[in-house]
Amino acid sequence: MVILLKLKAYLFIGLFCLSGLGVMAQVAPASSRMGDIRAEWLDRASFSGAGERPSGRNVLWYKQSAKVWEEALPIGNGRLGGMVFGGVADERIQLNESTLWDGYALDPNNPESLETLPEVRRLLFADKNNEAVKLAEQTMMGRPRGVKPYQSLAELWFDTRHLSADAYTRSLDLATGVVTVRYKHNGIWYTRESFASAELNAIIVRFTASGGGKISNSFTLRRQQDAETTPHPTDAASLLLKGRLPVKDSDGNARGLRFAAQVKAVVSGGHTRFHDHVLSVEGADTLTLYIAGATNYPGLEHVYDGGLDFPGIPEDTCAAIISNATRQSYEAVKAAHIREHQRYYSRVELELGAQDGKNWHLATDELLEEARTTGQPDPLLVETFFQYGRYLLIASSRPGTMPANLQGLWAWQMNPPWNADYHTNINLQMNYWPAEITNLSEMHLPLVDLMASLVKPGQRTAKVLYGADGWVVHHLTDAWGFTAPADGPQGIWPMGAAWLAQHPWEHYCYTLDTAFLRQRAYPLMKGAAAFILDFLVEAPSGTPVAGKLVTSPSYSPENAFILPNGEHSVFTYGATMDFEIIHDLLTNCVAATKILNIDKDFRNTCLKTLSRLAPIRISETTGRVMEWVEDYDEVEPHHRHTSHLFALHPGNQISVTGTPELAAAAKKTLIARGDDGTGWGLAWKINMWNRLHDADHAFKLLGVLLCEKTLPNLFDNHPPFQIDGNFGATAAIAEMLVQSHVPLKGTRFEVHLLPSLPTALIQGSVKGLRARGGFVIDLTWEDGILQDARIVAEKGGRLTLRLGDRTANFKTKGGEILQLDSHLKRKRT
């Protein structure tokens, strides 16, 4: 992504001043010392450094509270998210609600675009690239030229009288989705448990102590702007924060979303009281907080239905959520949350390190430091990082919720980096790379919902800007259906819908859900293809691919090249990535029409277009895959995007076994790009090295990602934080063990076991990974050699397995289980 700002990743800016906490009169709370916006958020408590690893295999844990946001631990249920700092004297839980987006639905399309498009194309074909850039920027950009940000909902602040912790452990158990803070103060053990219940749509925080009457805290809700906090008007034990985003349209009408957050305290023993906007609890035996958040966002399918204001009162929604949540005991709510979370999380088990290994008792930040010192991540860290990515997807993308954005669900600013929007030139797609292979297929569906919501505005953009049918998205979108070019000329990249259309097809390939293909996937794919078929033009004589179909204008995200006259430019025609995305889309459309036995004429049009599409070309000078239609030199040879290798990953047009010449050129391309990069850029390269079956090079880059681009709470660091690197790396670790992208005859795929197993991970086991064709796979290996495999054929059909150079074919029935040995032979039962 274009780096629009520089942000010190570890600096958490204190923005609020919490006052009036009577219980802390003897020492000013840290929160009242935040006038200096350069200061880090600090817990006043001192820590002894003593702490014990919690039970559980995959846990993030620490021996001190978080000092900055990038050390806090995330919880989420797809709608409501929290970042738990784990403070002793001073605690903060930063809250997000997935629909709290600034802005509103509008028509940003510039009708001048269609008039000037032929001239832009003429200039590009005449090698007048920068003249084309100037004209396109004047006439094709969206109005406005960008989107408004996703925003933080609120922050819950509370403090205690505890200024020291003799023993302290802060942890997130990935298997339960519960953050636990446990510490000892003056001989009393205090415990706090926090989790986000999907069933109740609430965050619950439980306080207990080893002695009676020991829990005394003061609470308030804060937001940087546009909100106020008061005692709840109808609930004497609740705080209420509510507000409205100050958005107005060109006529001066208020269009901003309304929002609210409520916190209710339920105590046994002790009592509660209010002082101004502060809720205090004194002398309780136990305390449970129920936290709700809501907006009046109408849902993706109703963005254009609301007129000037949407119905719904967020504070009423919060009250209903909390009323429902408090009807059950805490024990019942927690047990239900764990059951529901494990319904998804427990589908995959990965074991790469022994529990008695030398680093087993290292805290997570210590494991990271050990990796930085040795340059080699411990297998346990790799295992936990993999499961953390799955945890984050479960927490930030669930059926019926918004899809995961650039920061998933968690953003503390009013204006996060890149607006925490949906960047469609790789970042949004990367978020969902692990969904199918790591057995979280349901978490893929919010992306499909977003795509469906973009069809209507995308159709208008296609017609107004290009005179084309179908639907189009450029390099970003938001919660309000923005589909026009944004930011600058780099935004005139009309390939977003075509790339996104890969995802519903992938969902079908893994699930073989024909009803989904017919009702949801294929209409989205066909609509994206219809735009492409209208957008393509024939390259004129005198060009390198004369007579072939090319895209124009075109752009290779987000790279620039050097023209023969020495000028730099970003605009051209026929960037290689375009051909690769189009090849992927049209090929998948052809396959879908055969499966569904429909649209023969459309199928033939796709096939004819594929035969005329400009090919992937190899540079005669460098032997690398060419990024543009001309063999230009790059402005940044080590650019973070490796767009022209889309056909290697996430596409499948390039493979080691199917196209060895292109695979060799792709390898040279990756070597030239280098082994450094942004967090998400490294994750992409790891996936590509996996596809080349260069396991140790892939693991080397995973080490760089963990050692140099991973924050203390294991969030990916662009920098700053972007969640796509987490998701991309999780998918990459899975593809070290199972790959199923190489197409065979018909609509089948080869399933390759341990295709890219690094020597650093020579022993281990995995259960529950998925392969295309509806197969679920368990593997065990020792000394880098497969010991046994268990494969469930959910739908049945032909299965081709590969292990190294060995292949085996099986005919399977629906529900059949194959038990195979190290030679891919059936085991005797």
Per-residue pLDDT band for 219 (boundaries 50, 70, 90) equals very high
Assigned token pair, 157: 């602040």
Strand (E) or helix (H) holding 183: strand 178-185
Q: What is the pLDDT of residue 357?
A: 74
- In this structure, are 510 and 652 located in the same domain? yes
Find the mean pLDDT for residues 1-25.
Answer: 32
Q: What is the pLDDT of residue 306?
A: 67
pTM for the full predicted model: 0.95
pLDDT tens by residue, 76-100: 999 999 999 999 999 999 999 999 9
For 235-244, letters b (16+ CB in 10 Å) and e give: eebbbbbbbb
* Residues composing the chain: 829
Q: What is the pLDDT of residue 31?
A: 37
CA 44 and chain centroid, separation: 34
Domain that residue 765 falls in? 752-820
Q: What is the pLDDT of residue 276?
A: 83
In a domain, 358, yes or no: no
Strands of 17-97, DSSP E: 46-47, 59-62, 73-76, 80-84, 90-97
Q: What is the CATH number of the domain that holds 764?
A: 2.60.40.1180
- In this structure, are 393 and 314 located in the same domain? no
- Between the two ends of the chain, the Cα-to-Cα distance in Å is 53
- In this structure, are 687 and 811 located in the same domain? no
Last residue of a domain, one of 294, 321, 346: 346
- In this structure, are 729 and 811 located in the same domain? no
pLDDT tens by residue, 435-490: 999 999 999 999 999 999 999 999 999 999 999 999 999 999 999 999 999 999 88
User: Rounded CA gap, 315 and 332, in Å?
Assistant: 26
Q: What is the pLDDT of residue 138?
A: 96
CB 24 within 8 A of CB 218: yes
User: Rounded CA gap, 439 and 303, in Å?
Assistant: 31
Q: What is the pLDDT of residue 40?
A: 53
- In this structure, are 661 and 788 located in the same domain? no
Q: Is residue 18's pLDDT more than 80?
A: no
- In this structure, are 135 and 215 located in the same domain? no
Q: Is residue 396's pLDDT more than 50?
A: yes
In a domain, 165, yes or no: yes
pLDDT tens by residue, 132-158: 999 999 999 999 999 999 999 999 999
Q: What is the pLDDT of residue 654?
A: 98
Q: Coil, strand, or helix at residue 275?
A: strand
CB 403 within 8 A of CB 447: yes
pLDDT tens by residue, 451-465: 999 999 999 999 999
Q: What is the CATH number of the domain that holds 504?
A: 1.50.10.10
Q: What is the pLDDT of residue 428?
A: 98
Residues whose CB is less than 8 angstroms from the CB of residue 740 and which lie 6 or more positions away in sequence, other chains included: 749, 750, 751, 752, 771, 772, 773, 775
Q: Coil, strand, or helix at residue 490?
A: helix
Q: What is the pLDDT of residue 146?
A: 95
Residue whose tokens read 């290292």: 362
Q: What is the CATH number of the domain that holds 274?
A: 2.70.98.50
Last residue of a domain, one of 738, 765, 800: 738
Q: What is the pLDDT of residue 34?
A: 31
User: Rounded CA gap, 686 and 746, in Å?
Assistant: 29
- In this structure, are 180 and 317 located in the same domain? yes
pLDDT tens by residue, 312-367: 999 999 999 999 999 999 999 999 999 999 999 999 999 997 766 788 899 999 99
User: Rounded CA gap, 393 and 409, in Å?
Assistant: 9
Last residue of a domain, one of 346, 372, 402: 346
Nearest alpha carbon to residue 812 among 800, 828, 798, 825: 798
In a domain, 374, yes or no: no
Q: What is the pLDDT of residue 305?
A: 80
Question: How is residue 827 annotated by DSSP?
Answer: P
User: Rounded CA gap, 809 and 811, in Å?
Assistant: 7
Q: Is residue 107's pLDDT more than 70?
A: yes
User: How far is residue 42 from each of residues 34, 62, 71, 712, measured CA to CA in Å?
Assistant: 9, 16, 12, 16
CA 67 and chain centroid, separation: 24
Q: What is the largest CA-CA distance in the chain?
A: 86
Per-residue pLDDT band for 15 (boundaries 50, 70, 90) equals very low
In a domain, 336, yes or no: yes
Per-residue pLDDT band for 829 (boundaries 50, 70, 90) equals low
Q: Alpha helix locations (H) across 21-142? A: 112-125, 129-139
- In this structure, are 716 and 770 located in the same domain? no
- In this structure, are 773 and 705 located in the same domain? no
- In this structure, are 190 and 258 located in the same domain? yes
In a domain, 654, yes or no: yes
Nearest alpha carbon to residue 795 among 778, 772, 763, 779: 772
Residues whose CB is less than 8 angstroms from the CB of residue 716 and which lie 6 or more positions away in sequence, other chains included: 679, 680, 683, 705, 709, 710, 722, 723, 724, 725, 726, 729
Residue whose tokens read 């973070």: 640
In a domain, 816, yes or no: yes
Percent of the chain exceeding pLDDT 90 equals: 90
Q: What is the pLDDT of residue 149?
A: 98
Per-residue pLDDT band for 802 (boundaries 50, 70, 90) equals very high
Assigned token pair, 209: 């102590």
- In this structure, are 336 and 447 located in the same domain? no
In a domain, 363, yes or no: no
- In this structure, are 248 and 333 located in the same domain? yes
Q: What is the pLDDT of residue 355?
A: 66
Number of domains in the chain: 3
Q: Is residue 116's pLDDT more than 90?
A: yes
| Mean pLDDT of the residues in the chain | 93
Q: What is the pLDDT of residue 26?
A: 33
Q: Which residue would you say has higher pLDDT here, 40 or 792?
A: 792
User: Rounded CA gap, 827 and 806, in Å?
Assistant: 17
Per-residue pLDDT band for 275 (boundaries 50, 70, 90) equals confident
Residue whose tokens read 């179909």: 549
Q: Is residue 11's pLDDT more than 60?
A: no
Find the mean pLDDT for residues 676-695.
Answer: 97
Find the mean pLDDT for residues 580-601.
Answer: 98
Q: Coil, strand, or helix at residue 111?
A: coil
Q: Coil, strand, or helix at residue 726?
A: helix
pLDDT tens by residue, 187-199: 999 999 999 999 9
In a domain, 298, yes or no: yes
